[in-house]
Amino acid sequence: MAKKKIFISSVQIELSEERSALYEYICSDPLLGKHFEPFLFELLPAIDQRADDVYLKEVEFSDIYLGIFGKSYGSENADGLSPTELEFNHATDFHKTRLVFLTNHDNTDRHPKENLLITKAQEVLVRKKFSTVDELKSAVYAALIRYLEEKEIIRSVPFDATLLSNAALSDIDSEKIKSFVRLAQERRGFPLAETEPVEKILTHLNLYRDGRLTQAAILLFGAAPQRFFINSEVRCASFIGTIVEKPIPSYKVFKGTVFELVDQALEFVLNKLDYRVETRAEQVAIPGSYEIPKDVVAEAIVNAIAHRDYTSNASVQIMLFRDRLEIWNPGALPMGWTTLKLKQLHTSVPANPLLAEPLYLAGYIERMGTGTSDIIEKSLAAGLIEPQFIQSEDFRSIIYRSGSEQITPQVTDQVTDQVTDQVTDQVKALILLMENEYSRSELMGLLQLKHGQTFRGNYLNPALTDVLIEMTQPDSPKSPTQKYRLTAKGKALKAQLKNKNK
């Protein structure tokens, strides 16, 4: 099989070391070198052609566009465009797989046109930040391995299809199997009867082979799934205001099969939403509706549980605020997908296909890739603000409640009095103390705190959620060298707090 060609973009002088190191790394790595052929413009011999014509042709010949964006914008042509932006635009026009990696600089340190280019890239694909060459290599390696797997150039068994060596049929709850069959018969015409042997039903669902259970079988029908997968849980919390702050009025951790997780989490949210009772016209039953349509809440919860990354130690988190519902799951969109694609009709590419099939058969999800577009359409039909989907180190769905004003996940340079009033005194104290970059222990020392849980719950996590501070290594949140610094929004808030204290 011919190697896939990678066009390494950016001819900015500031990134020459990173580009050269990445080129050598891809060529020398045993796996990447076998499947990829990187292209670096500087290595071309002198030829009698315009440089911009040559590198744009190389973009067309390549399979992957790999962009590295830094602080400077680069030289501009007559139209005011740099080679980097021309390459990016060309890759977009020719529908290339695009991978973009950003240096870990503040937007205030970047050239204004570089910020505009990053904003353009943000609208169409997922970006990753790096601080060192080694971090860049690691991020590129993960992205390229994922590309090979999704193109089926290398084959590995998905998590849910992996066979469990320490599980037996006795770990399956037969009553849960029967309940599923009844639902699947009613909703999708499932061909088997509930009286059939458990082995036969599981084999039909591709959950049992060679006398062994798959991991999906336990997650779907296990008597105690968390005995095998402790991270398979959903954490739900509701808050009085618009930020994470204590005391938390309601907090639950749900365990069970994926069906039970969906049902429990859905009930938790619905019990907290406003319910409007309508007038009885010709119906015997009194009609009513939730402020967020029940189908919207259910779809978002099912998506988070079905498509999450079960190899991650993180859990699904559901947070209900005064103005919105946020659902977080450890997972990522398929290679080449963007959050914009989710707003359009698209094919269904489940991260866990053996989990998704029974959920479909039981009527919990649809197959046609309409889930996210349904969430948007039904929310708008109910008079709500359009939901948001955000991909960072995890995947987040934000669904707005009635009467709420849309929040933006992007950092702004302005902080209103309303935002200032919503920030807790603990977070304000943290913001006022921060001058540079600090580790978690250094911040606790500044605040004279000794209890880590108190610091995370009352200071660190709320400040991160409100984008007042940010990690220096956002793609490695648990790194031992992780530090925190003020964002542009945090700096603006700090200045405003100082002015008020004068």
User: Tell me, what DSSP letter sits at residue 71?
Assistant: S
Closest CA to 399 of 276, 251, 313, 299: 299
SS3 state of residue 238? strand
Distance CA 155, CA 77 (A): 44
Amino acid at 392: S
Distance CA 292, CA 278 (A): 15
What pLDDT does 218 receive?
97
Q: What are the structure tokens assigned to 433, written together? A: 């103390």
What pLDDT does 416 receive?
39
What pLDDT does 490 receive?
87
Q: What string of DSSP letters covers 13-67? A: GGGHHHHHHHHHHHHHSHHHHHHEEEE-GGGSPP-SS-HHHHHHHHHHH-SEEEE
Domains and CATH numbers, the chain: 4-150 (3.40.50.10140), 159-224 (no CATH), 234-400 (3.30.565.60), 417-501 (1.10.10.10)
Distance CA 310, CA 230 (A): 10
Q: Which residues contact 270 (CB under 8 A, 6 or more apart)?
A: 290, 294, 297
Distance CA 20, CA 24 (A): 6
Distances (CA, A) of 481 to 131, 136, 314, 417: 11, 16, 20, 34
H/E run at residue 146: helix 133-150
What pLDDT does 406 receive?
53
pLDDT average per 10 residues of sequence, the chain (502 residues): 87 79 88 91 61 82 93 90 92 92 89 91 73 82 85 79 91 96 93 95 90 95 95 94 87 96 96 77 64 94 92 91 93 74 72 87 78 90 91 86 61 39 78 91 85 81 86 79 88 82 58
